[in-house]
Amino acid sequence: MSTPVKDPVCGMDVVPAQLETIYEGIHYAFCSEQCRQRFVANPHLYIGVPGEKAPKQKGVVLFKRRRFQLDTPLAAHDAMVLDEALGAMMGVKAIVIQDDNIVTITYDLLQATADQLEAKMGEVGVKLGEGWAERLRRGFVHYMEECEVENLEVNSHH
């Protein structure tokens, strides 16, 4: 049996070959596809460069609170399914469903993104609001998150 290694995104112990990714000649393993996606998108949030630790290695936590307007109100059973699905995601700290059609989620941006949260909602059959203002707001959130994590990544100083 092989010795467990740490998932660089969430810190969980995992089997070395589990959801393996090779980056700059080094093998990394992940507890979930969500963690693997976060690493592949911004590896230097999790691994440093010579002489400088990455934000995750320094213990940085970047909590975000996002509000999602749903297309239609949720039935009680659907709200429970959504709460369980989102709660199982890495980095999700709190979920509040208000008026059956507004979901507020608190999460660590180093472990989950609004885009991943939206995808999970879609997987369980929850449809987000489709009005132009809602779509524009979600697009702006995605852009802001991308900018924020790209600015946090450590870079080699060549």
User: 82-134, pLDDT tens digit by residue?
Assistant: 999 999 999 999 999 998 899 999 999 999 999 999 999 999 999 999 999 99
- Tell me if 155 sits within 8 A of 49, measured CB to CB: yes
- Bridge pairing between strands 5-6 and 102-108: unpaired
Q: Using a cut of 0.85, tell me whether the model's pTM lies above it.
A: yes
Please name the residue ranges forming H helices in 42-131.
76-87, 114-123
Fold entry, domain 63-152: Alpha-Beta Plaits (3.30.70)
For helices 114-123 and 33-41, the axis angle rounded to 10 degrees is: 150
Q: Which residue has the higher pLDDT, 2 or 94?
A: 94
